Amino acid sequence: MSSRPARGAARLAAILDALPDALLLVNGNGTVVKANAIAGETLEAPGAPLVGRGLLDIIPAFDPRRIPGSMRRPDEDPGARTRPTRMIARRTDGSELQVEVTSALLQAGQTPYASAIDAVFGDDHASEELLMLVVRDLSGTLDTEAELARQQRQTEMILRAASEGVVGVDTAGRVVLVNPAAAQLLGHRAGKLGGQELHPLVHHSRPDGTPLPFEETPLHDTLVSGRKHRVRVGQVLWTKDGRAVPVDMTTAPVREGDQLVGAVMTFTDRRPQDAMNARHEQLLAVLGHSLRGPLEELRGELTALAADPAGQLWPEANQILHHLAAGYARMATLVDNVLAYQRLDAGREQLARKKVALDEVIGAGVDGATELIGPGRAQFAVHAPTTEAEVDPERLAQALAHLIADVAGVDATGRPVNAGEGAPTDSTIVVAAAQRGDVVRIEVRGPFPGGDPVHAPLVSGIVRMHGGVLQTHEVPGAAGGTAYVLEVPVSADAAPAPGHVPRPRDAAGETTVMPVPVQPARGTGGPGGPVRGMATGNDSGHVVAAPPAAPGRPMPRPRRPEGEEPRGPGLLAL
């Protein structure tokens, strides 16, 4: 007798046991008569064998008409293989699992491997019709499908919530993805955009109406080269009713591995931004031409009239005239500074960095603050070392002037704010500077906490352009209760990249505030209150007050001997 069937049976048995899916053989009674190794691992529990169980006990939802010997419809092919169908299977211990079942009938004696199958499944079933089932465990597949469904829902929610228009195209430029924002902006129904070519639909013409070839668009270059594009000027998309919508457009490639399979185009409507820019330019024009010119003219006339020695006005009227001249000077200075910052912020002007002594910058800032506050309305305690820093002296002095004016507590009319019972009685403004490592730190503290909507944005903007940071610290017990700390790099090389905001720290790694006495140094006046002026150090080590400035004239800034540091109980010890 030949040994070939035995070897074939052993090989076939090994193949069946190596299959990744469970394989069951069911006889005409609906009983499982054979099972491969994976079937035992998947459906069999210890002590409860699978072979000998009824098929409907294992797969209750299985169609019993498929069992050999059952009655079938006349038009049904008994030898046809069923399509994979998902069902619930029960293990022999009663636990359930999701499976996918495929079945086929094995006719007796009709297989070319009859002798091998007889050896594998036993001679006792060789002459009867059997049902073979392939059962695939879907436990891992269901987890994967659930995760994919979750990610798809999340993607859909993101696309629906996005305010930007998002359109995905394949390599031929046909729409495969569109979010509601894009459909609404373009005036199309999202369902009708699928499968259409995007370019002739929404991007066929330039802003002036002339035809725009697809080869000249950012989307075409992205599909051909895989490069990403971001275009903010000169791009329009056309709506369904023929209106041109100016947009900011970004195109990015979509890849599967190393293969380019499409691109995504995102866009936002520029019309609100263009309207805001036009309004901004209009306001700048009003400030620069319609308002500044008359202010400057009035300022000149009032100043000339107040300085006329032949003026025959009574003292009160002359004083009012001086105050009017100072008020118009303050308004003109504020307008000039706002316009200068707008030019800097828009990129029409750049910082002019150079090495300059810090005391000169602070002195210019105090002088500029006097113009913004008005003469005789505040006094200063100043500590300004001769440390050099590479900054734009004019811009930094401008920022310092507005920071001082912010804490001075003087409104746009020149009157003190909160002049009631709770107002601080000390008008001294403390300005202290020191170098800490590779940064210069300037602290400003006044009788009021600041936060003016005109001064604060200008100060923070100039400091940010220097690569520095402006912070506010609470100082309990001090006048105003807060202190501004301004930090800028000593050199341009030490300035961080744009957008990076450094955190000021001392050598120990903690944020610090320079100590200031509860009562800053100030001059002593008569019964009417403190003398208005600038507090500074003299040779004796005491703090004196500069005489108040004449109305309408800038307040003089006392100078200390060259090489001598200010000192005295009212100055900051750094």
What angle, rounded to 10 degrees, do the helices at 4-18 and 114-121 form?
A: 70
pLDDT, tens digit (0-9, with 9 covering 90-100), for 274-299: 888 777 776 766 666 556 666 777 77
Q: Are strands 244-256 and 259-269 parallel, antiparallel or unpaired?
A: antiparallel
H-only helix segments in 411-451: none
- Mean pLDDT of the 205-232 span: 91
Residues 6+ apart with CB under 8 A from 283: none
569 in Cβ contact with 517 (< 8 Å):
yes
| Amino acid 416: pLDDT | 67
**550 has a pLDDT exceeding 50:** no
DSSP single-letter state for residue 476: T
Residues 6+ apart with CB under 8 A from 6: 119
Residues 6+ apart with CB under 8 A from 266: 164, 165, 166, 167, 249, 250, 252
Which among 513, 450, 502 has a CA at the least distance from the CA of 476?
513
- Mean pLDDT of the 56-74 span: 82
Which among 57, 228, 21, 34 has a CA at the least distance from the CA of 136?
21
3-state secondary structure of 127: coil
**72 has a pLDDT exceeding 90:** no
Could you count the other beta carbons within 10 Å of the beta carbon of residue 89? 22
pLDDT, tens digit (0-9, with 9 covering 90-100), for 347-375: 888 899 999 999 999 999 998 888 888 77
Least confident segment among 26-40, 136-150, 211-225: 136-150
- Cα–Cα distance measured from residue 199 to residue 194, given in angstroms and rounded to the nearest whole number: 13
Q: What is the CA radius of gyration of the chain?
A: 43
Answer with the residue of higher pLDDT: 217 or 273: 217
- Cα–Cα distance measured from residue 469 to residue 500, given in angstroms and rounded to the nearest whole number: 10
Angstrom CA distances, 471 to 404, 456, 488, stand at 14, 11, 12
**35 has a pLDDT exceeding 80:** yes
Q: Two tokens at 426?
A: 């000390």
| Amino acid 109: pLDDT | 53
In the CATH scheme, what is the homologous superfamily, with its name and number, of domain 351-417+427-545? Histidine kinase-like ATPase, C-terminal domain (3.30.565.10)
| Amino acid 499: pLDDT | 47
Angle at 238 between CA 235 and CA 243, to 5 degrees: 110
| Amino acid 150: pLDDT | 87
Q: Two tokens at 563?
A: 């090489």
| Amino acid 265: pLDDT | 93
Residues 6+ apart with CB under 8 A from 331: 295, 412
pLDDT, tens digit (0-9, with 9 covering 90-100), for 535-547: 333 333 333 333 3
Please, which pLDDT band fits residue 247 given cuts at 50, 70 and 90? Answer: very high
CATH architecture of 163-269: 2-Layer Sandwich (3.30)
- Mean pLDDT of the 503-518 span: 38
- Cα–Cα distance measured from residue 113 to residue 110, given in angstroms and rounded to the nearest whole number: 9
The average confidence (pLDDT) of the chain is: 76
Please, which pLDDT band fits residue 559 given cuts at 50, 70 and 90? Answer: very low
| Amino acid 527: pLDDT | 33
* Assigned CATH class of 4-137: alpha beta
Highest mean pLDDT among 125-129, 358-362, 481-485: 358-362
Give percent of the chain with pLDDT exceeding 70: 72
Least confident segment among 147-156, 274-283, 419-428: 419-428
Residues 6+ apart with CB under 8 A from 17: 36, 37, 38
Give percent of the chain with pLDDT exceeding 90: 24
pLDDT, tens digit (0-9, with 9 covering 90-100), for 424-474: 666 788 899 998 888 999 999 888 887 777 788 888 889 999 999 998 887
| Amino acid 563: pLDDT | 42
Answer with the residue of higher pLDDT: 406 or 550: 406
Residues 6+ apart with CB under 8 A from 565: 385
